[in-house]
Amino acid sequence: MKIYNSLTRTNEQLKPLNEGKISMYVCGPTVYDVGHLGHARAAVAFDMIRRYFLYKGFDVTFVSNITDVDDKIIARAAKEGITEIDLVERIIPEYAKDYGALGVLPPTHQPRCTQYIAQMVTMIEKLVSLGNAYTTKDGVYFRVSKLKNYGQLSGQNIEELRSGARIEVDEEKENPLDFAVWKAQKQGEETASWSGPCGIKGRPGWHIECSAMSGSIFGDVFDIHGGGIDLIFPHHEDEVAQSLGSMSDDRLNELEAEGRRGFAQYWMHNGHVRINKEKMSKSLGNFFTIKDMLVKWNPAVLRYLLLSTHYRLPIEFSDALLYQAKNGLERFRDAARNLKLFIESAGLQGSLGFDNALLSAQKGFEKAMDDDFEISRAYSALFEFINFINSGVRSGVKENVLSKEQAQCAMDFLKKVDSVLGFIFEESVSLDDDINALISKRNEARKNRDFATSDAIRIELDEKGIVLEDTPNGVVWRKKL
Protein backbone atom coordinates (compact mmCIF):
# COMPACT_ATOMS: atom_id res chain seq x y z
CA MET A 1 0.00 0.00 0.00
CA LYS A 2 1.03 3.62 -0.55
CA ILE A 3 0.86 6.59 1.79
CA TYR A 4 1.63 10.24 1.17
CA ASN A 5 4.84 11.27 2.93
CA SER A 6 4.88 14.97 3.83
CA LEU A 7 8.68 14.80 3.99
CA THR A 8 9.12 13.83 0.32
CA ARG A 9 5.76 15.19 -0.87
CA THR A 10 5.06 11.99 -2.79
CA ASN A 11 3.02 8.82 -2.40
CA GLU A 12 5.43 6.13 -1.22
CA GLN A 13 5.20 2.39 -0.84
CA LEU A 14 4.89 1.62 2.85
CA LYS A 15 7.93 -0.32 4.06
CA PRO A 16 7.88 -0.66 7.85
CA LEU A 17 11.16 -0.87 9.76
CA ASN A 18 10.09 -4.29 11.04
CA GLU A 19 8.07 -6.53 8.75
CA GLY A 20 4.47 -6.92 9.87
CA LYS A 21 4.75 -4.21 12.51
CA ILE A 22 4.03 -0.47 12.48
CA SER A 23 5.19 2.06 15.05
CA MET A 24 3.12 5.23 14.92
CA TYR A 25 3.26 8.46 16.95
CA VAL A 26 0.53 11.13 16.67
CA CYS A 27 0.63 14.46 18.50
CA GLY A 28 -2.21 14.66 21.01
CA PRO A 29 -4.00 17.61 22.60
CA THR A 30 -2.79 20.33 24.94
CA VAL A 31 -5.28 19.91 27.76
CA TYR A 32 -6.08 23.47 28.84
CA ASP A 33 -9.69 23.23 27.61
CA VAL A 34 -12.10 20.66 26.16
CA GLY A 35 -11.65 19.60 22.55
CA HIS A 36 -13.27 21.07 19.45
CA LEU A 37 -14.00 19.58 16.03
CA GLY A 38 -10.46 20.31 14.86
CA HIS A 39 -9.13 18.00 17.57
CA ALA A 40 -11.81 15.45 16.67
CA ARG A 41 -10.81 15.52 13.00
CA ALA A 42 -7.18 14.59 13.80
CA ALA A 43 -8.20 11.93 16.32
CA VAL A 44 -10.74 10.28 13.99
CA ALA A 45 -8.51 10.48 10.89
CA PHE A 46 -5.56 8.75 12.52
CA ASP A 47 -7.87 6.29 14.26
CA MET A 48 -9.13 5.25 10.81
CA ILE A 49 -5.55 4.95 9.52
CA ARG A 50 -4.55 2.86 12.52
CA ARG A 51 -7.63 0.66 12.12
CA TYR A 52 -6.86 0.03 8.44
CA PHE A 53 -3.35 -1.07 9.30
CA LEU A 54 -4.93 -3.54 11.72
CA TYR A 55 -7.37 -4.61 8.97
CA LYS A 56 -4.34 -5.37 6.78
CA GLY A 57 -2.87 -7.58 9.49
CA PHE A 58 -0.18 -5.29 10.88
CA ASP A 59 0.77 -5.31 14.56
CA VAL A 60 0.36 -1.61 15.35
CA THR A 61 1.88 0.23 18.29
CA PHE A 62 0.02 3.54 18.39
CA VAL A 63 1.27 6.33 20.65
CA SER A 64 -0.57 9.62 21.17
CA ASN A 65 0.63 11.97 23.89
CA ILE A 66 -1.02 14.45 26.21
CA THR A 67 0.65 17.84 26.63
CA ASP A 68 0.00 18.61 30.29
CA VAL A 69 2.50 21.46 30.78
CA ASP A 70 2.34 24.52 28.54
CA ASP A 71 1.93 28.30 28.55
CA LYS A 72 -1.82 27.98 27.91
CA ILE A 73 -2.25 25.52 30.78
CA ILE A 74 -0.37 27.82 33.17
CA ALA A 75 -2.42 30.85 32.07
CA ARG A 76 -5.76 29.03 32.31
CA ALA A 77 -4.98 27.59 35.75
CA ALA A 78 -3.95 31.03 37.02
CA LYS A 79 -7.14 32.56 35.65
CA GLU A 80 -9.26 29.95 37.46
CA GLY A 81 -7.18 30.15 40.63
CA ILE A 82 -6.31 26.45 40.60
CA THR A 83 -3.12 24.45 40.09
CA GLU A 84 -2.04 23.17 36.70
CA ILE A 85 -2.48 19.61 37.98
CA ASP A 86 -6.08 20.31 39.01
CA LEU A 87 -6.82 21.73 35.56
CA VAL A 88 -5.35 18.90 33.51
CA GLU A 89 -6.86 16.21 35.74
CA ARG A 90 -10.25 17.78 35.05
CA ILE A 91 -9.76 18.10 31.27
CA ILE A 92 -8.05 14.80 30.39
CA PRO A 93 -11.11 12.61 31.21
CA GLU A 94 -13.26 14.89 29.04
CA TYR A 95 -11.07 14.18 25.99
CA ALA A 96 -11.27 10.45 26.73
CA LYS A 97 -15.07 10.71 26.97
CA ASP A 98 -15.45 12.72 23.75
CA TYR A 99 -13.01 10.62 21.72
CA GLY A 100 -14.62 7.44 23.03
CA ALA A 101 -18.05 8.67 21.89
CA LEU A 102 -16.58 9.18 18.40
CA GLY A 103 -15.30 5.61 18.34
CA VAL A 104 -11.61 6.49 18.66
CA LEU A 105 -9.68 3.52 20.02
CA PRO A 106 -7.48 4.21 23.09
CA PRO A 107 -3.77 4.51 22.19
CA THR A 108 -1.41 1.66 22.93
CA HIS A 109 0.53 4.21 24.99
CA GLN A 110 -0.66 7.67 26.05
CA PRO A 111 2.32 9.37 27.68
CA ARG A 112 1.96 12.65 29.55
CA CYS A 113 4.74 15.18 29.18
CA THR A 114 5.22 15.54 32.92
CA GLN A 115 5.94 11.81 33.17
CA TYR A 116 8.98 12.20 30.89
CA ILE A 117 10.76 15.24 32.36
CA ALA A 118 13.85 13.17 33.24
CA GLN A 119 14.15 11.89 29.66
CA MET A 120 13.78 15.44 28.33
CA VAL A 121 16.51 16.72 30.63
CA THR A 122 18.84 13.92 29.51
CA MET A 123 18.12 14.69 25.85
CA ILE A 124 18.74 18.42 26.31
CA GLU A 125 22.01 17.81 28.14
CA LYS A 126 23.10 15.62 25.24
CA LEU A 127 22.25 18.43 22.80
CA VAL A 128 24.35 20.83 24.85
CA SER A 129 27.28 18.40 25.08
CA LEU A 130 27.24 17.93 21.29
CA GLY A 131 27.27 21.69 20.78
CA ASN A 132 23.75 21.69 19.32
CA ALA A 133 22.17 23.70 22.15
CA TYR A 134 23.28 26.53 24.44
CA THR A 135 22.11 28.31 27.58
CA THR A 136 20.81 31.84 28.11
CA LYS A 137 19.24 33.52 31.11
CA ASP A 138 15.86 32.40 29.74
CA GLY A 139 16.71 28.72 29.36
CA VAL A 140 18.29 26.44 26.77
CA TYR A 141 18.03 26.97 22.99
CA PHE A 142 18.66 24.70 20.03
CA ARG A 143 21.19 25.92 17.44
CA VAL A 144 19.31 25.74 14.16
CA SER A 145 22.51 26.49 12.22
CA LYS A 146 23.96 23.15 13.35
CA LEU A 147 21.40 21.15 11.37
CA LYS A 148 22.14 21.26 7.64
CA ASN A 149 18.65 20.17 6.54
CA TYR A 150 16.59 22.41 8.85
CA GLY A 151 13.45 23.41 6.94
CA GLN A 152 13.32 20.26 4.81
CA LEU A 153 10.04 18.99 6.26
CA SER A 154 8.20 22.29 5.94
CA GLY A 155 9.73 22.94 2.51
CA GLN A 156 11.20 26.34 3.36
CA ASN A 157 14.75 27.58 3.33
CA ILE A 158 16.42 29.23 6.30
CA GLU A 159 16.07 32.75 4.94
CA GLU A 160 12.35 32.30 4.28
CA LEU A 161 11.88 30.96 7.78
CA ARG A 162 13.93 33.80 9.26
CA SER A 163 11.70 36.41 7.63
CA GLY A 164 8.34 34.66 7.92
CA ALA A 165 8.32 32.74 11.20
CA ARG A 166 6.94 34.03 14.47
CA ILE A 167 10.12 34.36 16.53
CA GLU A 168 10.40 34.84 20.28
CA VAL A 169 12.33 38.01 21.11
CA ASP A 170 15.46 37.27 23.13
CA GLU A 171 18.60 39.35 22.73
CA GLU A 172 20.76 36.48 24.03
CA LYS A 173 19.75 34.14 21.22
CA GLU A 174 22.51 33.51 18.70
CA ASN A 175 20.02 33.23 15.83
CA PRO A 176 16.39 34.45 15.64
CA LEU A 177 15.36 30.95 14.51
CA ASP A 178 16.85 29.17 17.53
CA PHE A 179 14.05 27.70 19.62
CA ALA A 180 13.66 26.90 23.31
CA VAL A 181 14.13 23.32 24.44
CA TRP A 182 14.00 24.35 28.11
CA LYS A 183 12.37 27.46 29.59
CA ALA A 184 13.70 29.00 32.80
CA GLN A 185 11.15 29.41 35.57
CA LYS A 186 9.35 32.75 35.70
CA GLN A 187 7.55 34.33 38.62
CA GLY A 188 4.23 32.61 39.23
CA GLU A 189 5.32 29.34 37.55
CA GLU A 190 6.63 27.62 40.67
CA THR A 191 4.09 24.78 40.49
CA ALA A 192 5.01 24.01 36.87
CA SER A 193 8.79 23.82 37.25
CA TRP A 194 11.37 21.07 37.62
CA SER A 195 15.11 20.79 38.15
CA GLY A 196 16.44 20.98 34.65
CA PRO A 197 19.53 20.76 32.43
CA CYS A 198 22.60 22.83 33.27
CA GLY A 199 21.13 23.54 36.72
CA ILE A 200 18.26 25.61 35.27
CA LYS A 201 14.96 25.24 37.10
CA GLY A 202 12.02 25.48 34.73
CA ARG A 203 10.03 23.41 32.26
CA PRO A 204 10.47 21.83 28.83
CA GLY A 205 9.79 23.57 25.54
CA TRP A 206 6.86 22.21 23.56
CA HIS A 207 8.87 20.54 20.80
CA ILE A 208 11.31 18.60 23.02
CA GLU A 209 8.38 16.88 24.70
CA CYS A 210 7.37 14.82 21.67
CA SER A 211 10.97 14.04 20.72
CA ALA A 212 11.67 12.66 24.18
CA MET A 213 8.44 10.70 24.49
CA SER A 214 8.61 9.07 21.04
CA GLY A 215 12.30 8.32 21.55
CA SER A 216 11.68 6.77 24.97
CA ILE A 217 8.96 4.47 23.66
CA PHE A 218 10.21 3.62 20.15
CA GLY A 219 13.93 4.39 20.17
CA ASP A 220 15.54 6.93 17.84
CA VAL A 221 13.74 5.69 14.69
CA PHE A 222 10.15 4.64 14.07
CA ASP A 223 7.76 4.34 11.15
CA ILE A 224 5.12 7.07 11.11
CA HIS A 225 4.70 10.46 12.76
CA GLY A 226 1.32 12.15 12.39
CA GLY A 227 -0.52 15.30 13.35
CA GLY A 228 -2.41 18.29 12.04
CA ILE A 229 -1.05 20.13 9.01
CA ASP A 230 -0.55 23.24 11.17
CA LEU A 231 2.07 21.34 13.20
CA ILE A 232 4.51 20.93 10.30
CA PHE A 233 6.20 24.19 11.26
CA PRO A 234 7.51 24.83 13.76
CA HIS A 235 6.56 21.83 15.89
CA HIS A 236 7.44 18.90 13.65
CA GLU A 237 10.34 20.68 12.01
CA ASP A 238 11.83 21.30 15.44
CA GLU A 239 11.17 17.71 16.53
CA VAL A 240 13.29 16.54 13.61
CA ALA A 241 16.03 19.01 14.50
CA GLN A 242 16.20 17.95 18.16
CA SER A 243 15.98 14.24 17.50
CA LEU A 244 18.70 14.25 14.83
CA GLY A 245 20.72 16.77 16.85
CA SER A 246 20.83 14.43 19.83
CA MET A 247 22.32 11.58 17.78
CA SER A 248 26.05 11.06 17.47
CA ASP A 249 27.72 11.30 14.06
CA ASP A 250 28.35 7.55 14.20
CA ARG A 251 24.66 6.86 14.73
CA LEU A 252 23.65 9.22 11.93
CA ASN A 253 26.11 7.56 9.58
CA GLU A 254 24.81 4.15 10.59
CA LEU A 255 21.23 5.15 9.81
CA GLU A 256 22.26 6.63 6.48
CA ALA A 257 24.08 3.40 5.55
CA GLU A 258 20.89 1.45 6.39
CA GLY A 259 18.86 3.75 4.13
CA ARG A 260 16.97 5.16 7.10
CA ARG A 261 15.84 8.75 7.20
CA GLY A 262 16.54 9.12 10.89
CA PHE A 263 13.72 9.70 13.40
CA ALA A 264 10.34 9.21 11.61
CA GLN A 265 10.37 7.46 8.23
CA TYR A 266 7.00 8.81 7.09
CA TRP A 267 5.18 12.01 8.03
CA MET A 268 1.39 12.17 7.71
CA HIS A 269 -0.71 15.30 8.25
CA ASN A 270 -4.46 15.81 8.35
CA GLY A 271 -6.23 18.88 6.99
CA HIS A 272 -8.11 21.45 9.06
CA VAL A 273 -11.80 21.77 9.79
CA ARG A 274 -12.71 25.16 8.35
CA ILE A 275 -15.60 27.56 8.76
CA ASN A 276 -16.03 30.23 6.09
CA LYS A 277 -12.68 29.10 4.67
CA GLU A 278 -10.87 29.83 7.95
CA LYS A 279 -9.26 27.18 10.16
CA MET A 280 -11.44 26.27 13.13
CA SER A 281 -9.49 27.26 16.24
CA LYS A 282 -9.95 28.57 19.74
CA SER A 283 -7.70 31.55 19.03
CA LEU A 284 -10.08 32.70 16.27
CA GLY A 285 -13.17 31.91 18.33
CA ASN A 286 -14.83 30.12 15.38
CA PHE A 287 -15.03 26.66 16.88
CA PHE A 288 -17.60 24.11 18.02
CA THR A 289 -16.68 21.90 20.95
CA ILE A 290 -17.07 18.16 20.54
CA LYS A 291 -19.41 18.15 23.53
CA ASP A 292 -21.74 20.74 22.01
CA MET A 293 -21.89 18.79 18.75
CA LEU A 294 -22.60 15.51 20.55
CA VAL A 295 -25.64 17.11 22.19
CA LYS A 296 -27.09 17.96 18.76
CA TRP A 297 -25.89 15.04 16.64
CA ASN A 298 -25.43 11.30 16.92
CA PRO A 299 -21.67 10.64 17.37
CA ALA A 300 -21.75 8.23 14.41
CA VAL A 301 -22.92 11.09 12.16
CA LEU A 302 -19.98 13.21 13.31
CA ARG A 303 -17.55 10.35 12.75
CA TYR A 304 -18.98 9.75 9.28
CA LEU A 305 -18.60 13.43 8.43
CA LEU A 306 -15.02 13.62 9.73
CA LEU A 307 -14.04 10.60 7.63
CA SER A 308 -15.94 11.50 4.48
CA THR A 309 -13.30 13.97 3.23
CA HIS A 310 -9.81 12.68 2.43
CA TYR A 311 -7.71 13.04 5.56
CA ARG A 312 -5.22 15.46 3.95
CA LEU A 313 -7.88 17.86 2.66
CA PRO A 314 -9.72 20.53 4.67
CA ILE A 315 -13.32 19.95 5.70
CA GLU A 316 -15.57 22.93 4.94
CA PHE A 317 -17.89 22.48 7.90
CA SER A 318 -21.60 23.26 7.46
CA ASP A 319 -25.05 22.05 8.46
CA ALA A 320 -25.55 20.82 4.90
CA LEU A 321 -22.50 18.56 5.28
CA LEU A 322 -23.91 17.18 8.53
CA TYR A 323 -27.21 16.28 6.85
CA GLN A 324 -25.31 14.62 3.99
CA ALA A 325 -23.41 12.59 6.57
CA LYS A 326 -26.66 11.63 8.30
CA ASN A 327 -28.17 10.44 5.01
CA GLY A 328 -25.05 8.46 4.10
CA LEU A 329 -24.93 6.81 7.51
CA GLU A 330 -28.60 5.83 7.25
CA ARG A 331 -27.90 4.02 3.98
CA PHE A 332 -25.16 1.98 5.63
CA ARG A 333 -27.30 1.17 8.65
CA ASP A 334 -30.30 0.28 6.49
CA ALA A 335 -28.11 -2.31 4.78
CA ALA A 336 -27.00 -3.74 8.13
CA ARG A 337 -30.63 -4.02 9.31
CA ASN A 338 -31.69 -5.58 6.03
CA LEU A 339 -28.95 -8.19 6.30
CA LYS A 340 -30.17 -9.08 9.76
CA LEU A 341 -33.64 -9.53 8.28
CA PHE A 342 -32.28 -11.78 5.52
CA ILE A 343 -30.38 -13.92 8.03
CA GLU A 344 -33.57 -14.40 10.04
CA SER A 345 -35.58 -15.31 6.91
CA ALA A 346 -35.85 -18.84 5.54
CA GLY A 347 -36.23 -20.64 2.21
CA LEU A 348 -34.72 -18.03 -0.10
CA GLN A 349 -32.75 -19.32 -3.09
CA GLY A 350 -30.29 -16.43 -3.11
CA SER A 351 -29.31 -13.65 -5.50
CA LEU A 352 -27.47 -14.68 -8.66
CA GLY A 353 -25.42 -11.45 -8.66
CA PHE A 354 -24.25 -11.63 -5.06
CA ASP A 355 -20.78 -13.12 -5.50
CA ASN A 356 -19.73 -10.53 -8.07
CA ALA A 357 -21.17 -7.68 -5.98
CA LEU A 358 -19.32 -8.79 -2.85
CA LEU A 359 -16.00 -9.33 -4.65
CA SER A 360 -16.28 -5.95 -6.38
CA ALA A 361 -16.98 -4.20 -3.07
CA GLN A 362 -14.07 -5.82 -1.28
CA LYS A 363 -11.59 -5.13 -4.08
CA GLY A 364 -12.85 -1.58 -4.54
CA PHE A 365 -12.64 -0.78 -0.83
CA GLU A 366 -9.12 -2.16 -0.40
CA LYS A 367 -7.76 -0.67 -3.63
CA ALA A 368 -8.96 2.78 -2.57
CA MET A 369 -7.68 2.50 1.00
CA ASP A 370 -4.32 1.13 -0.19
CA ASP A 371 -3.90 4.35 -2.19
CA ASP A 372 -3.27 6.77 0.69
CA PHE A 373 -6.69 6.10 2.21
CA GLU A 374 -8.79 7.46 -0.67
CA ILE A 375 -11.97 7.41 1.35
CA SER A 376 -14.29 8.79 -1.35
CA ARG A 377 -13.50 5.88 -3.67
CA ALA A 378 -13.82 3.46 -0.75
CA TYR A 379 -17.27 4.86 0.08
CA SER A 380 -18.28 4.59 -3.57
CA ALA A 381 -17.40 0.89 -3.70
CA LEU A 382 -19.31 0.24 -0.50
CA PHE A 383 -22.37 2.23 -1.60
CA GLU A 384 -22.65 0.12 -4.74
CA PHE A 385 -22.74 -2.94 -2.53
CA ILE A 386 -25.27 -1.63 -0.02
CA ASN A 387 -27.50 -0.43 -2.85
CA PHE A 388 -27.43 -4.02 -4.11
CA ILE A 389 -28.43 -5.25 -0.66
CA ASN A 390 -31.15 -2.66 -0.06
CA SER A 391 -32.69 -3.12 -3.52
CA GLY A 392 -33.23 -6.79 -2.71
CA VAL A 393 -35.39 -5.81 0.24
CA ARG A 394 -37.40 -3.14 -1.51
CA SER A 395 -38.04 -4.95 -4.79
CA GLY A 396 -39.29 -8.21 -3.34
CA VAL A 397 -38.19 -9.90 -6.59
CA LYS A 398 -37.09 -13.43 -5.75
CA GLU A 399 -33.94 -13.31 -7.90
CA ASN A 400 -32.71 -10.19 -6.05
CA VAL A 401 -33.16 -11.48 -2.50
CA LEU A 402 -30.20 -12.82 -0.55
CA SER A 403 -30.14 -16.25 1.02
CA LYS A 404 -29.21 -16.70 4.68
CA GLU A 405 -25.70 -17.74 3.69
CA GLN A 406 -25.23 -14.77 1.37
CA ALA A 407 -26.59 -12.37 3.98
CA GLN A 408 -24.15 -13.76 6.54
CA CYS A 409 -21.21 -13.34 4.14
CA ALA A 410 -22.30 -9.77 3.46
CA MET A 411 -22.71 -9.11 7.19
CA ASP A 412 -19.23 -10.49 7.88
CA PHE A 413 -17.78 -8.25 5.17
CA LEU A 414 -19.49 -5.11 6.50
CA LYS A 415 -18.34 -5.94 10.03
CA LYS A 416 -14.78 -6.21 8.77
CA VAL A 417 -15.14 -2.89 6.93
CA ASP A 418 -16.63 -1.38 10.07
CA SER A 419 -13.54 -2.38 12.02
CA VAL A 420 -11.97 0.43 9.96
CA LEU A 421 -14.83 2.93 9.59
CA GLY A 422 -16.38 2.49 13.02
CA PHE A 423 -19.88 3.79 12.30
CA ILE A 424 -21.91 1.18 10.40
CA PHE A 425 -23.15 -0.97 13.25
CA GLU A 426 -24.95 0.83 16.02
CA GLU A 427 -24.74 -0.37 19.58
CA SER A 428 -27.37 -2.91 20.47
CA VAL A 429 -30.45 -1.03 21.61
CA SER A 430 -33.61 -2.33 23.23
CA LEU A 431 -37.03 -0.77 22.96
CA ASP A 432 -39.23 0.21 25.86
CA ASP A 433 -42.22 -2.04 26.49
CA ASP A 434 -44.63 0.66 25.33
CA ILE A 435 -42.74 1.03 22.02
CA ASN A 436 -42.76 -2.73 21.46
CA ALA A 437 -46.47 -2.78 22.23
CA LEU A 438 -47.14 -0.05 19.64
CA ILE A 439 -45.14 -1.90 16.97
CA SER A 440 -47.07 -5.11 17.72
CA LYS A 441 -50.37 -3.21 17.61
CA ARG A 442 -49.43 -1.70 14.25
CA ASN A 443 -48.45 -5.09 12.83
CA GLU A 444 -51.86 -6.42 13.88
CA ALA A 445 -53.59 -3.42 12.31
CA ARG A 446 -51.78 -3.97 8.99
CA LYS A 447 -52.66 -7.65 9.10
CA ASN A 448 -56.33 -6.67 9.49
CA ARG A 449 -55.96 -4.00 6.75
CA ASP A 450 -56.79 -1.28 9.28
CA PHE A 451 -54.54 1.24 7.55
CA ALA A 452 -55.88 4.27 9.43
CA THR A 453 -54.76 2.80 12.77
CA SER A 454 -51.52 1.60 11.19
CA ASP A 455 -50.66 5.07 9.87
CA ALA A 456 -51.60 6.75 13.16
CA ILE A 457 -49.26 4.43 15.07
CA ARG A 458 -46.45 5.03 12.56
CA ILE A 459 -46.78 8.80 13.16
CA GLU A 460 -46.82 8.30 16.93
CA LEU A 461 -43.68 6.13 16.75
CA ASP A 462 -41.98 8.70 14.53
CA GLU A 463 -42.62 11.35 17.18
CA LYS A 464 -40.98 9.02 19.72
CA GLY A 465 -37.90 8.72 17.49
CA ILE A 466 -38.67 5.30 15.97
CA VAL A 467 -38.81 4.94 12.18
CA LEU A 468 -40.51 1.93 10.59
CA GLU A 469 -39.97 0.53 7.10
CA ASP A 470 -42.32 -2.05 5.64
CA THR A 471 -40.52 -4.55 3.40
CA PRO A 472 -41.66 -7.68 1.55
CA ASN A 473 -39.82 -9.67 4.24
CA GLY A 474 -41.17 -7.89 7.29
CA VAL A 475 -41.03 -4.63 9.24
CA VAL A 476 -37.65 -3.06 10.00
CA TRP A 477 -37.38 -0.42 12.73
CA ARG A 478 -34.61 1.98 13.60
CA LYS A 479 -34.00 4.88 15.93
CA LYS A 480 -33.68 8.28 14.33
CA LEU A 481 -30.12 9.56 13.97
pLDDT of residue 428: 54
Nearest to 431 by CA among 384, 475, 397, 380: 475
Higher pLDDT, 188 or 459: 188
For residue 105, pLDDT beyond 90: yes
Q: What are phi and psi of 270, to 5 degrees?
A: -90, 150
For domain 2-279, the CATH architecture is: 3-Layer(aba) Sandwich (3.40)
Domain boundaries, the chain: 2-279, 327-421, 433-479
Rounded CA-CA distance 181/200 in Å is 12
For residue 345, pLDDT beyond 90: no
Q: Which helix (H) or strand (E) holds 26?
A: strand 21-26
Higher pLDDT, 164 or 204: 204
pLDDT of residue 395: 61
pLDDT of residue 396: 56
For residue 164, pLDDT beyond 60: no
Q: What residue type is assigned to position 172 of the chain?
A: E
For residue 170, pLDDT beyond 80: no
Rounded CA-CA distance 81/260 in Å is 48
Cβ-based neighbours of 445, under 8 Å, separated by 6 or more: 451, 453, 454, 457
Cβ-based neighbours of 97, under 8 Å, separated by 6 or more: none
pLDDT of residue 349: 72
Yes or no: say if 70 and 88 are a contact pair by the CB < 8 Å rule: no
Taking the CA atoms of 338, 339, 344 and 345 in sequence, report the sign of the dihedral they define: positive
Highest mean pLDDT among 161-165, 357-361, 434-438, 467-471: 357-361
Q: What is the CATH number of domain 327-421?
A: 1.20.120
pTM: 0.89
pLDDT range class, residue 1, cuts 50, 70, 90: very high
Yes or no: say if 439 and 477 are a contact pair by the CB < 8 Å rule: yes
Question: Percent of the chain scored above 90 by pLDDT?
Answer: 72
- Check for a shared fold between 2-279 and 327-421: no
For residue 348, pLDDT beyond 70: no
